[in-house]
Amino acid sequence: MTARQGYDPGRRVMRVGVIGLGAMGMGAAKSCLRSGLETAGCDLRDAARAEFGAAGGIACANPAALPDGLAAVVILVVNAAQTETALFGPEGAAQHLAPGAVIISSATMSPADARHFAARAADQGFLYLDAPVSGGAAKAAAGEMTVDAALVTLDFLLRHGLLASDPEGPALAAAMARLRLAPAGVSAPARARSS
């Protein structure tokens, strides 16, 4: 299925994107599919796109091919440079986000880079969540990875249906077992890694 095929605008299903179908991203994307979310997955590798498409997802070669109207995008790339390209580059995902969409960035980056991206996202009417993940490929595949996030965003995520106390709930809840919250402004590398 391609980004432009298979979408029924009459359905009331949350549309999400996952950029980076590697060890963690593939598991997160497939968990979203299992939860009934319309999920587009983006990766440069043909094999990753083929695997995701075979699982029922919308496979995209780059962020420019993502469908329009994404309520959330999860970015599971390596670093800040890749995040910037995937999100704000000329062919980035930002152009496909619905007004008020949530950007969940799980790349390793400095606090300064995360604040810069958050400001750029806010300027465009989006919420940027710096949310490193852990647990490895097996936990990601099972929908049990841990997400570290800033406390300031919890209320927003709950109000917009991106988190639910029900394990079968939408979006982020589909891909994780635990959400660890840190005070706003605490950098990802400084966060405690134990529960």
The per-residue pLDDT for range 46-62, each reduced to its tens digit, is 999 999 999 999 999 99
Q: What's the maximum distance between 2 C-alpha atoms anywhere in the chain?
A: 44
Q: What is the pLDDT of residue 160?
A: 56
Q: Dump pLDDT digits (tens) for 74-94.
A: 999 999 999 999 999 999 999
Please count the other Cβ atoms lying within 10 Å of the Cβ belonging to residue 110: 13
The DSSP letter of residue 165 is S
Radius of gyration of the chain (CA): 15
What's the one-letter identity of residue 81? A
Q: What is the pLDDT of residue 145?
A: 73
Which domains does the chain carry?
Answer: 15-187 (3.40.50.720)
Dist CA 122 CA 102 (whole Å)? 10
As a dihedral over the C-alpha atoms of residue 2, residue 89, residue 109, residue 146, rounded to 10 degrees, the angle is: -20
The phi and psi torsions of 6 (rounded to 5 degrees) equal 75, 10
In the block, residue with structure tokens 């077992």? 177
pLDDT tens per residue, the chain (195 residues)?
A: 333 333 445 556 789 999 999 988 998 999 889 888 999 999 999 999 999 999 999 999 999 999 999 999 999 999 999 999 999 999 999 999 999 898 999 988 888 898 899 889 989 999 888 887 777 777 766 667 777 766 445 555 555 555 554 444 444 444 444 444 444 444 443 333 323
The DSSP letter of residue 64 is G
Answer for the pair 58, 3: CB distance below 8 angstroms, yes or no: yes
Dist CA 75 CA 54 (whole Å)? 21
Q: What is the pLDDT of residue 127?
A: 87
Q: What is the pLDDT of residue 130?
A: 86
The phi and psi torsions of 73 (rounded to 5 degrees) equal -135, 135
DSSP E strand boundaries for 89-157: 97-105, 127-130, 133-134, 145-150
Burial classification of residue 147, based on how many CB atoms lie within 10 Å of its CB (0-12 exposed, 13-18 middle, 19 or more buried)? buried
